[in-house]
C-alpha cells in the first residue's frame, strides 16, 4: 500500500531509524487491549446487535487512516452513520455555507446529519471506537498516541507531519483529555507533537486514567 510520503512529500523516520516507545509500550498495549476485549465482549456483541436490528446494515466500518511511519491502515469503528453518508455530506455542505466553513476548518460538524440517533449515543460515550482495540492488537494503533488522521489532515499538518508520524495513532491521547472535538485542528496537532516529544510510560498511564472521566462526562463529544 502506498505510503503518505509519496503522496504529500512528507519526510519521516523509517522503522530502522526510530523505535517509538519500545517494547514496554507495545507490551502495555497488548496486555491492556487483550483484557479489555475479553471484559467488554458482551457490550461489543450488544452494540453490534443494536446496530443490525435498527437498520439492518453492516455493524462495522473500515476507514483508511495514516499510521506510524506513514503506513496506511484500516481503522475499525462501529457504524454510526447512514449508509449513504458521503452523498449526504456533499448535499449538506452544498446547501449550507456555514456547515461548509465548519467542515473546512475542523473536519467535523457539530450537527452532522449523517449520524443516526443510535450512533449519536455511541459517539458521545466513545463506544463506536472500541473496535480499535483490534487495531491495537494488530500493531496498527496504540492505546495512547496522536489522534488518527486521514490523508487530507496529514497534508494540513505541513512540517509537523514528520514528527507526528513517529508514533502509532492512539485510541486515546492528549487530544482526548484536553477538549476532544472542541479543539481547533491546529490545537490537536500541537497536542500530538507535544505527546511525541514527551512520551513515557507514566504519561501513557496518566492519559488512560484521565480518559475515563472525560468519556463519562461526554465533554467535547459529538
Helix 22-39 crosses helix 201-217 at what angle (to 10 degrees)?
30
Which of 219, 139, 215, 129 shows the shortest CA–CA distance to 179?
A: 219
What pTM does this model have? 0.83
pLDDT above 70 covers a percentage of the chain that reads 89
pLDDT, mean over the chain? 84
The DSSP bridge partners found for residue 67 are none
Would you kindly state where each structural domain of the chain is located, as residue ranges?
19-80+115-213, 82-114
pLDDT tens-digit profile of 2-51? 343 443 444 444 444 456 778 889 999 999 999 999 999 999 999 999 99
pLDDT tens-digit profile of 193-212? 999 999 888 999 999 999 98
CB 220 within 8 A of CB 179: yes
pLDDT tens-digit profile of 157-186? 888 888 889 999 999 999 888 877 778 888
pLDDT above 90 covers a percentage of the chain that reads 37
The residue-averaged pLDDT of 81-103 equals: 86
Amino acid at each position: 500500500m502506498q505510503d503518505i510520503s509519496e503522496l504529500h512529500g512528507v519526510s519521516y523516520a523509517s522503522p530502522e531509524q526510530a523505535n517509538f516507545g519500545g517494547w514496554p509500550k507495545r507490551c502495555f498495549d497488548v496486555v491492556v487491549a487483550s483484557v479489555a476485549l475479553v471484559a467488554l465482549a458482551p457490550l461489543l456483541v450488544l452494540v453490534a446487535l443494536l446496530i443490525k436490528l435498527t437498520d439492518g446494515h453492516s455493524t462495522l466500518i473500515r476507514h483508511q487512516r495514516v499510521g506510524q511511519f506513514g503506513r496506511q491502515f484500516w481503522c475499525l469503528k462501529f457504524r454510526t452513520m447512514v449508509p449513504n453518508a458521503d452523498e449526504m455530506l456533499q448535499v449538506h455542505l452544498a446547501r449550507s455555507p456555514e456547515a461548509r466553513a465548519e467542515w473546512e476548518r475542523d473536519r467535523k460538524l457539530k450537527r452532522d446529519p449523517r449520524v443516526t440517533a443510535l450512533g449519536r449515543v455511541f459517539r458521545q460515550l466513545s463506544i463506536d471506537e472500541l473496535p480499535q482495540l483490534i487495531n491495537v492488537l494488530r500493531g496498527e494503533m496504540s492505546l495512547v498516541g496522536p489522534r488518527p488522521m486521514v490523508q487530507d489532515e496529514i497534508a494540513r499538518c505541513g512540517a509537523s507531519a514528520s514528527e507526528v508520524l513517529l508514533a502509532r495513532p492512539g485510541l486515546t491521547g492528549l487530544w482526548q483529555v484536553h477538549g476532544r472535538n472542541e479543539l481547533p485542528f491546529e490545537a490537536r496537532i500541537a497536542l500530538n507533537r507535544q505527546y511525541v516529544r514527551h512520551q513515557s510510560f507514566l504519561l501513557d498511564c496518566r492519559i488512560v486514567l484521565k480518559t475515563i472521566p472525560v468519556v463519562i462526562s461526554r465533554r467535547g463529544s459529538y
